[in-house]
């Protein structure tokens, strides 16, 4: 299958240290980059096809990522060593510090992926797997396969089928293809009470009661994409909506049980300022913090 990938992208503060090395294969393109980004550097990427990104060094403390335009700090999460980005899912990145890195991009035609996965999974589960993003930090086996693929991209020494088989192994190693896992049917799954108790305990340990979705998923031992799905089925809210409601509940307790000012409560709970807390409080509780405190004191 002749395939030329297309991706909309823009970067600021990121530069390649050498020309990209790439190789087109059957229904896919592999591209290897050496690059560096400065503190404050940003990137935006959107592809009509699925893609895989594998980093050859740990970037989690230097690069953050989000799939939400205009995301605030709470919506950003650390970049993982290996990620799968489904077709049409946007990605924004931001550097917190200067960092040099190398990574392999694998752009895949959707039909090529389906052709590879369907014989083993069936069409329904293959399509389901293609729609679920994956982000993993412990990617040693995948990184080994990616290193072999980079060698074939840089200096081809074997038939293209060898490089294509490496891509196939990377795909099956990265995508969540566990046939026995309920993750393939998130609509029917729920968090257990033990998982909810664990999550509540971890959130309560934070001084401002704030966690990213990735951190919440990690706390209960689930992938971020599946956690977000089953969490809403369990609670009726997205993880961030639930967390925000919890923080407003804590604010109500502080308003009722202490003499702290609204500004002090806002600072303690991680809101940007008093106005931010007031706006959010009104949306959740139906009144401003000051009005709510007066009503409670009048009871």
* 254 pLDDT more than 70: yes
Q: What angle do CA 175, 36, 94 make, to 5 degrees?
A: 65
Residue 71: its pLDDT value, please? 61
Q: State mean pLDDT over 29-58.
A: 95
Of 57, 61, 27, 33, nearest to 45 by C-alpha is 33
Q: State mean pLDDT over 57-67.
A: 93
* 181 pLDDT more than 70: no
Residue 214: its pLDDT value, please? 86
Q: What is the pLDDT of residues 267-298, one digit of tens each?
A: 988 888 899 999 989 988 889 999 988 888 76
Distance CA 278, CA 271 (A): 10
Of 46, 48, 183, 173, nearest to 128 by C-alpha is 183
Residue 227: its pLDDT value, please? 82
The SS3 of residue 295 is helix
Q: How confident is the model at residue 299 (pLDDT cuts 50, 70, 90)?
A: low
Residue 179: its pLDDT value, please? 43
* 146 pLDDT more than 70: yes
Distance CA 155, CA 168 (A): 20
* 72 pLDDT more than 90: no
In the chain, DSSP finds a helix count (H) and a strand count (E) of: 11, 10
Residue 68: its pLDDT value, please? 79
Residues 6+ apart with CB under 8 A from 12: 41, 42, 43
CA dihedral 172, 122, 86, 218 (to 10 degrees): -60
**What percent of the chain has pLDDT above 90?**
47
* 159 pLDDT more than 90: yes
Residue 9: its pLDDT value, please? 92
Using CB atoms within 10 A of its CB, is residue 142 exposed (0-12), middle (13-18) or buried (19+)?
buried
Per-residue buried b or exposed e for 4-15, using 16+ beta carbons within 10 Å of the residue's own CB: ebeeeeeeeebe
**What percent of the chain has pLDDT above 70?**
92
Q: What is the pLDDT of residues 189-210, one digit of tens each?
A: 677 788 888 899 988 888 788 8
Q: How confident is the model at residue 94 (pLDDT cuts 50, 70, 90)?
A: very high
Q: What angle do CA 167, 170, 175 make, to 5 degrees?
A: 125
Q: State the residue for tokens 């946007």.
A: 90
Distance CA 160, CA 213 (A): 39
* 221 pLDDT more than 80: no
* 30 pLDDT more than 50: yes
243 close to 209: Cβ distance less than 8 angstroms: yes
Q: State mean pLDDT over 246-269.
A: 90
Which of the two residues, 35 and 205, has the higher pLDDT score? 35
- Neighbouring-strand partners of residue 102: 34
Q: How confident is the model at residue 185 (pLDDT cuts 50, 70, 90)?
A: very low
Name the helix (H) or strand (E) containing 145. helix 140-154
* 183 pLDDT more than 90: no
Q: State mean pLDDT over 137-141.
A: 90
Q: What is the pLDDT of residues 105-124, one digit of tens each?
A: 999 999 999 888 888 777 77
């Amino acid at each position: 299958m002749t395939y030329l990938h297309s991706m909309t992208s823009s970067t600021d503060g990121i530069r390649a240290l050498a020309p990209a090395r790439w190789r087109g294969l059957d229904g896919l393109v592999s591209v290897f980059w050496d690059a560096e980004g400065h503190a404050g550097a940003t990137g935006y990427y959107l592809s009509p096809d699925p893609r895989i990104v594998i980093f050859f060094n740990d970037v989690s403390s230097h690069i953050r990522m989000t799939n939400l335009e205009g995301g605030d700090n709470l919506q950003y999460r650390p970049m993982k060593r290996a990620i799968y980005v489904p077709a049409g899912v946007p990605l924004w990145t931001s550097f917190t510090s200067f960092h040099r890195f190398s990574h392999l991009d694998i752009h895949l035609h959707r039909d090529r992926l389906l052709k590879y996965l369907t014989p083993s999974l069936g069409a329904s589960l293959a399509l389901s797997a293609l729609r679920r993003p994956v982000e993993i930090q412990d990617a040693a086996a995948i990184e080994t396969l990616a290193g072999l693929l980079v060698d074939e991209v840089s200096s081809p020494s074997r038939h293209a089928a060898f490089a294509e088989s490496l891509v196939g192994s990377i795909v099956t190693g990265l995508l969540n293809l566990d046939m026995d896992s309920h993750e393939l049917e998130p609509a029917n799954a729920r968090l257990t009470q033990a998982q909810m108790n664990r999550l509540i305990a971890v959130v309560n340990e934070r001084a401002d009661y704030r966690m990213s979705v990735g951190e919440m998923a990690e706390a209960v031992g689930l992938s971020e994409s599946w956690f977000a799905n089953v969490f809403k089925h369990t609670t009726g809210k997205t993880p961030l909506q639930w967390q925000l409601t919890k923080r407003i509940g804590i604010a109500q307790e502080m308003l009722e049980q202490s003499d702290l000012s609204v500004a002090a409560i806002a600072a303690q709970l991680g809101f940007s300022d008093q106005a931010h807390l007031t706006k959010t409080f009104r949306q959740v509780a139906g009144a401003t913090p000051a009005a709510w405190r007066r009503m409670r004191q009048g009871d």
